[in-house]
Structure 1
Amino acid sequence: MSNSDHQRCWAIVCAAGSGRRMEMDIPKQYLPLKNSTVLEESLSCFLHHPQIAGVVVALHADDHRWPSLKISTDPRVQNVVGGDTRARSVVNALERVRSLAEQEDFVLVHDAARPCLGYEDLDRLITEGLGGEDGVILASPVHDTVKQVRTSDGGQEVERTLDRSLLWKALTPQMFRVGVLHKALQFCIENDREVTDDASAVEAIGQPVRMIRGRSDNIKVTRPEDIQLAESILLQVSKSSQS
C-alpha cells in the first residue's frame, strides 16, 4: 500500500512480566495507579487514538488478574500468552496481529510498565511512521554523565566516559511495518541474539530505524517508588489538559 490513508496501525502491549525485579507479589503492570492500574493506563492512550485499529496484549501464562479488568472486555483489545522472553512475547502477539493485518500495516510495540505515554507523542510517532518505510522510535536525550565499566578482581572499574551528546534513551512505543518486525524478531530468536527492545532486532537485519524526540516523563515503572512518580506525572498531565 502506498497511500498512508489505507494503512492501519495496530498496537502490541507487552505485559507478560512476573514482577520479580520489583520483588513484589503482584506484577508491576497490575499495581494500582490513579483509579485503575499501570496496565490500564498504558493501554488508555492507544484506545483513545483513532488511527489504532486494535490492541493485542501479551500476558503471562499464569496471569489470573487480566479478566478482572474492565478493559479486558473492550472489543478492540485481544490477548495472547507471552513467551519466555520479551522477543517471543512480541512474536506471539505479532502472530495475532498478522491474522488481522496486512504485511504493510504498521505495529506499535509498547511496554505495559510505561503508563505515562502522552497522546501528543503517540500522535507524532504515528504521523512520522506513516510517512516513510523505516522503523521509528521515541527517545529522550541522556543528561547524566555515563560511564562504561569493566569488572575486575577489585569490583567494577570505570573504563571510560561516554560522549553523552551521542546517547539517547530508547522509549516505547516503537513503530514498524508488521512484516519487517516479524522478520527481525524471528531472525534474532533463530540466531540466539538477545535484544532488549524491538528496534535492536530491526537494526540486526540491517533495516534503518529513525528516532524522534519523546517526553522524558514517559517513564518505565521498574521500582516501587516509580509509582509515586507516575502518579505525579499523570496528575500534572490531567491538570494541564483541564487548564
Structure 2
Amino acid sequence: MNTTPTLHAMIVAAGRGSRFGASIAKQYTMLQGQTLLQHSVARLGTSAYIDKCLLVVAADDNTVQTLNFSMPIHCAIGGAERWQSVQAGVEAIIQSGADDSDLVLIHDAARPVVPSRDIDNVIRAAMLEPYGAILATPVADTLKTAYTQSIEKGSVYYYAETTIDRSTLWQAQTPQVFRLAQLKKVLEHVSKHQLTITDEASAFEHLKLPIKLVTGSRQNIKLTYPDDADLLAAILTIQS
C-alpha cells in the first residue's frame, strides 16, 4: 500500500439544496461576504496536503466561473444524484493521470467551517488505510423512533415510539477520503445495482469494506436549513 499517495481534493457542488428552500443553489449562499463554496475551498486550502481543488458543478451552473477562489480550481460536470457527481469527479481525476493508490478527498460545499486540524487528521488516517477514512462524531443526543397519527384533516402529528441505543451510532461528516481505485469500484457497484446512498462511505458499507471513523469537531456543521446560516456565521467569527 502506498502510504505517501498524491491527494486529489474534490468539492461536490452540483445540487440545489431543496431543504434549504432558497431560490439560489445552496452553495452560493452568501456568508460574511463570500459564498459557501468559496469558504469551503478556502478551508481545504489551509491543509498542507491540498494545493488545488476539483469542483463538480451542475451543467447549467453560470456562477462558479464568476467567483475568485483562494487556490487553483478546475471543474467537472456532475449528475442528478450525488454519487453520479462524485463518479464524474473520479473520472476527471483518473483522466488527469492519477495513480490507483492515490487518495480522493470529497467535501461538501455546504460545510464551510471544518477545522483545519480535522482535514489533516482524516487525510493522515486514510493514508494508512486500504480503503479510506471519514470524519464523524459520536451521536450525543437521545434518539427516538416515531409513529404518526392523523388528528385533523391535513394534519399529521408525531409521537415518540422507542428510544434507540446510541452507543454505536456516529454522525457522518466530510471530508471523506478514499483510495481512488476502490472508490471507482464501489461507485460502479452503486450504479449497477441502482443503490440509494447518502454519502460515499455508504457505498463501501454495501460491500462490507472497512472505512475508518476519525472523530471530528462538532463545529463542522452543514448548512441544511435557513437558521443554520446564523450558527455558521458565529462559528466563522470564533475561528477567525
Match of 1:241 in 2: none
Q: Is the 8 A contact 1:137 1:212 kept in 2?
A: yes
Which of 22, 31, 34 is equivalent to 1:33? 31
Residues 62-81 of structure 1 mapped to structure 2, 5 A cutoff: 62-71=60-69, 74=71, 76-81=72-77
Q: Paired residue for 1:189, among 188, 191, 202?
A: 191
Gaps of 5+ in 1: 239-243
Structure 2 segments unaligned to the other structure (5+ residues) = none
Task: Return the letter of the residue paired with 2:227.
Answer: E
Greater shift, 163-172 or 141-150, is seen at 141-150
Q: Secondary structure at the match of 1:71?
A: coil
CA contact (8 A) 1:13 1:56 kept: yes
Question: Which residue pairs with 2:174 in the alignment?
Answer: 172
- Are the counterparts in 2 of residues 18 and 60 from structure 1 also a CA contact under 8 Å? no
Contact 2:27/2:35 (CA < 8 Å) preserved in 1?
yes
Is the contact between residue 131 and residue 182 of structure 2 (CA under 8 Å) also seen in structure 1? no
**Distance in 2 (alpha carbons) for counterparts of 1:152 and 1:179:** 47
Question: Does 1:113 pair with 2:110?
Answer: yes
Residues of 1 paired with 2:60 and 2:148: CA distance?
37
Length-normalised TM-score, structure 2? 0.91
Aligned residue for 1:209? 211
Aligned ranges 1:82-231 → 2 under 5 Å: 82-100=78-96, 101-150=98-147, 156-231=158-233
SS at match of 1:98: helix
Q: Which amino acid aligns with 2:18?
A: R
Task: Tell me by how many angstroms 1:153 deviates.
Answer: 6.5
Q: CA deviation at 1:53?
A: 5.3
Q: Is the 8 A contact 1:19 1:25 kept in 2?
A: no
Instruction: Report Cα offsets for 1:61-99 as digits up to 9, x if no partner.
Output: 211111110129x5x311111100000010001111112
> Residues 106 and 176 of structure 2 are in contact (CA less than 8 Å); yes or no, is this contact kept in structure 1?
yes
Question: C-alpha displacement at 1:132, in angstroms?
Answer: 2.3
Is the partner of 1:133 in helix, strand or coil?
Answer: coil
How many residue pairs are counted as aligned between the two chains? 234
SS in 2 for 1:21: helix
Q: TM-score, structure 1 length as denominator? A: 0.90
